[in-house]
Chain A
C-alpha cells in the first residue's frame, strides 16, 4: 500500500483499481464467451495504445506505423502455432506433409530456413520481443540520428507499414499472403479454440496488460519519463542540457514497438489467426485513434480508448455496415477538435473536479461526525 501510494497518486490508484475491477471481475461475469473473446481482441490494441502513450503522448513522436510491430509480434506467434498445427499427421493429405498448408498450395516443398527456429516456443517468445524491438531500433536509429522527426517521421512509418503489407501479400508461399495464417489450433498441445481456453487466454492477456501498464507507469515516473515530456516541448533545451535526444526517442519508439508486438502475439492467440489486414496503413491509423480518443497522455485512458472505440466499431458495423468507417473518422476529428486530451481529459476536467468538490463538501459537513466516530471506534480496537 505504501509502495502503491508512491507509485500511483490517488486518482491513478482509483483508475488502476477500477480498470482491474472491470477487466478481471465485471466483464468476465457479465459477458458470454463470444463477447469476452471480442473484448480480448480489443484489448490486444490496448497494448499498442499504451506504447503510443509513451512514444506519442510523452515523447511527441507520432508513429503511424504501429501496425508493423503489431503484425511482427502477431506473425511470430502465428508462425509457431501454424507449425504446431501442421504436424505430419494433420497434413498427410498434402503433397509435402509437415509444412503449413499455404506453402503446399504454393508449390513449396520444404520448410524455409527462417521458419525452422519457430518450432521452439522459447525462441518464439524471444522473437516476439526482439524482432520488433530490433526493427524499431534500426528505423529509429536511421531516422532520429539524422534528426528526421514530426510529420516526416510519421509519413515514413506509414510507408514502412505499406511496404510490409505488400511484402506479406506478395510472398504468399512464405507468409500465407492476403489470407494470412489461419487454422491455428494448439499451443504446446493445449487446444486454444474451445470456450474454456478462450477464458484462460483472456485472463492471461489481462495479466500481461497490467504488467505493461506497470512498466509504462514506471517509465513515466523515472527521469526518463520527464525527459520525454521535456523533449516534446523543447528539444533543443534537452540537447543543450547534455542529452542525446535521438537515443531517448529511439528508446521510446522501441518500447512502443515491443508493447505493440505483445499485443499482436496475444491477437494471434486469442483470435486464432493473423493476416496482413492488421499490419497496414488503416489499422495503424486506427491504433493512433484509440490513443487519441483515450487521451494521449493517459495510460489508463489508452486502454479505455481501445475498448470503447472497438465496442463502437463493432456496434456500428453490426448496425450500419456501410457507414461505420465514416463514423470512426468523424469520431477522430471530433475528439481532436473538441477534446484534445481525449476521454481522460474529459474525466479530469469535468468528472474528477466535480467528485473532488463533492468529497470535500461532504468532508466539511460531516467533519464533526467523523471525528466522533473515530473516537468511538478507537476503544473497540
Chain B
C-alpha cells in the first residue's frame, strides 16, 4: 500500500486479522484489500492459513482480533447467514451439495428469496425462479440434468453445481476454495471457461494450487506463509520474489 495514495473505497478490507487456536496463530496480523471487480488469488504452501482466511471472512471461524470490512460493514460481528445476505458467497473445498435433492432443488434453495422460515413456507416456484435456474444450469453444463438427484452427479459436476448455487445468489464477492481440485483434464478446462465467464462484474477471491490456472485469471496474487503475507502483487512480481521462490515455488 502506497502511503499518501488516494484511499479508494475497497470492497473488502481485512486489517490486522488474527486467529489463534489454543495459542497457535493460524492467521497472524494479516491485512489485505480487495478492490471492486478484482480477481485475487491466494497461494501458499500447505498450512499457510489460506482456507482459514476464507473461513474468517464468511464467518465460519470467529476472529480472535482484527477487522474485516465489506462495503464498510464489519463482518466479524455478523452471523454466517447475515454475511451471505450482505453479498459474500463461499464455495467449499470438498463439494457440498444436497445429495437427497435434485439439481433443480439444489439451485432453488440458493435462490435469494424466502430465506426466513415463514418466507420459505409461502415461497412459490414462479417463472422468474424457473428462468433463473435454467439460465444458471446452462452456464454450469447441467441443463439436461435438472431432475437428477445430486448424488448421481460426478465429482466435477458436483463442483459445478456448487458454483451454480453461488451464482444464483449473485454475490458481490465470490470466494472459491480450490475450484479445480480433483477434476479431470477436460473438466478442468471447462471449469476454467466457466470461472472466466462468472468472474466478470464481481470480485473473486480464489485459493488455487494450479499455477497455470492462477496465471490465467489472477489480477493480483497474495502469497501466504505461516499465517502471514509473504508477498503480494502481480503474478510476474510474485514469481520473481526470492522469498516466494524459497518457500513455495522453488519446490
Contact = CB atoms under 8 A, between A and B. Distances in A.
Given A223-B123, A241-B84, A234 B109 contact: no
B121 A241 contact: no
B242 interface: no
A342 B180 CA distance: 40
B79 A227 contact: no
B187 interface: no
A234 B96 contact: yes
Given A226-B101, A236-B96, A244-B79, A219 B117 contact: no
Interface string A224-251: 1011011011101111111111011011
B205 to A, nearest CB: 14
User: Interface size for chain B: under 10, 10 to 19, 20 to 34, or 35 or more residues?
Assistant: 20 to 34
B96 A239 contact: no
A236 B105 contact: no
A240 B84 contact: yes
B117 A242 contact: no
A243 B119 CA distance: 11
Interface in A241-263: 241-245, 247-248, 250-251
A243 B96 CA distance: 15
A373 interface: no
B219 to A, nearest CB: 25
Interface residues of A, number: 25
Nearest to A232: B100
Interface string B99-130: 11100011011101011110011110000000
Interface centre among A223, A233, A234, A243 (most CB of B within 10 A): A223
A236 B81 CA distance: 10
Contact of B100 (A233, A241, A242): A233
Interface of A: 219, 222-224, 226-227, 229-230, 232-234, 236-245, 247-248, 250-251
Interface of B: 58, 60, 79-81, 84-85, 89-90, 92, 96-101, 105-106, 108-110, 112, 114-117, 120-123, 162, 165, 169
